[in-house]
Amino acid sequence: MSSSFKAQEQWVDFFENKIKNYEKFRNFDYGPTNESSVSKLSPYISHRILLEFELIKEVKNNYKSQKVNKFIEEIYWRIYWRGWLENRPRVWCNFIAEKDYKYDHGTYKKAINGNTELGFFNSWVNELKTYNYLHNHTRMWFASTWIFNLELPWQLGATFFFKHLYDGDAASNLLSWRWVAGLQTKGKQYLFSPENLRKFSNNRFNVEKINNKQLFLEESNQIPFEDQIYESNMDPKSENLILFENDLHAATLKNIFGNYKNIFIILLGNEQRKVKLSESVLSFKQSIVSEFVKKFDNVIQIRPQILNEKFENINQLDMIYPGVGDNNDFIKNFKHINDKVIFNLVRDEDLFSWQFARKGFFKFKENIPKINQYIFQN
């Protein structure tokens, strides 16, 4: 079964059978083989096989009940996280540059191998490696345990998630770890109790005490606002287009593909990435890229190692903007070294939404009606 077909099948199942109970059950993790409380759509949304704005429109066109609003809000959290990072790309740069961590290497090795004294944590490590997925509530428990119990750097935890998650996009993963650590919302850390763990794991994990340490993390670098991305649009400016694996929404991209002579899709290997991925994650990405290429006559996949050779006589390129992260870092480096002009093509809905993501989510939430109105008009 193709990833796009599986994505659509899972979306239809969730849309028709689960969405009305999503708010009631979403915080319960019943175990890796029980999907009754979650959508399991995040791997497809993070690669835009399913497009956030299209999901919002479909839900709002078909449901008037307030019961579905929580799912829409969770989709908007993803949009908000990405906008927040686009407004502050230095957060990603700081994350990549930071190497001087102080921690117990033995504890770290036990943690990533699921050999700690914490049975619940070991279970999550094994689940993550086996399924390349964790329930969102469990991700919060995991990060809190990593930071405040095992006393390991949050950056290494975020890197561990990037390595193993199918849906490990830069914004949602990085900023969620910062939120748990108390850096995203200043002074507000995420800690959980034995009662919380017991209740929302459906009694799968029963412990008497959670040994959290009193830690207060601080930002060591300034994070200025940046707004260059708002100079972008979706207007073609070249005969050649490049894109990456994190925007593969075929239905909308096909509308602009006819404007291009050549379209190239690039999938970075670990040798080009600053954050290394597991073989299973790279394999997942390759499978969705291969499926995407088969849908179009004028799209080919090219290896990143031959980019300079392929574009030797091409000075200007359009690019479906991949967002802050490894893909964008790679292409910026290529552009700088080879003196190329590369135009970012950014969806109108993204640009409109991101302008409201300069502060906290609740400020962003106040503008969701405006965003809804915009996406329905477009």
Look at residue 303 in the predicted model and tell me its pLDDT: 96
- CA-to-CA distance for 276 and 282, rounded, in angstroms? 10
- CA-to-CA distance for 111 and 259, rounded, in angstroms? 50
Residue range(s) in the chain whose domain bears CATH number 1.10.579.10: 90-200
Look at residue 185 in the predicted model and tell me its pLDDT: 87
Q: State the CB neighbour count (10 A cutoff) for residue 4.
A: 19
Cα–Cα distance list, 263 to 284, 332, 346 (Å)? 22, 18, 16
Residue range(s) in the chain whose domain bears CATH number 3.40.50.620: 233-345
Which CATH fold would you assign to the domain 90-200?
A: DNA Cyclobutane Dipyrimidine Photolyase, subunit A; domain 3 (1.10.579)
Per-residue pLDDT of the chain (378 residues; tens, 9 = 90+): 788 899 999 999 999 999 999 999 999 999 999 888 889 999 999 999 999 999 999 999 999 878 899 999 999 999 999 999 999 999 999 999 988 889 999 999 999 999 999 999 999 999 999 999 999 999 999 999 999 999 999 999 999 999 999 999 999 999 999 999 999 988 799 999 999 999 999 999 999 999 999 888 888 777 899 999 999 999 999 999 999 999 999 999 999 999 999 999 999 999 999 999 999 999 999 999 999 999 999 999 999 999 989 999 999 999 999 999 999 999 999 999 999 999 999 999 999 999 999 999 999 999 999 999 999 987
Cα–Cα distance list, 212 to 73, 151, 192, 196, 288 (Å)? 30, 9, 9, 14, 40
- CA-to-CA distance for 378 and 373, rounded, in angstroms? 9
Look at residue 66 in the predicted model and tell me its pLDDT: 82
Look at residue 193 in the predicted model and tell me its pLDDT: 96
Contact assessment for residue 284 and residue 47, using Cβ atoms and an 8 Å cutoff = no
The gap from C-alpha 282 to its chain's centroid, in whole angstroms, comes to 15
Domain 233-345 of CATH type 3.40.50.620: yes
Contact assessment for residue 289 and residue 2, using Cβ atoms and an 8 Å cutoff = no
Domain at 3-87+354-377: CATH architecture: Alpha Horseshoe (1.25)
Look at residue 67 in the predicted model and tell me its pLDDT: 83
Token duo for residue 1: 């079964």
Contact assessment for residue 131 and residue 193, using Cβ atoms and an 8 Å cutoff = no
Residue 327, amino acid: N
Residue range(s) in the chain whose domain bears CATH number 1.25.40.80: 3-87+354-377
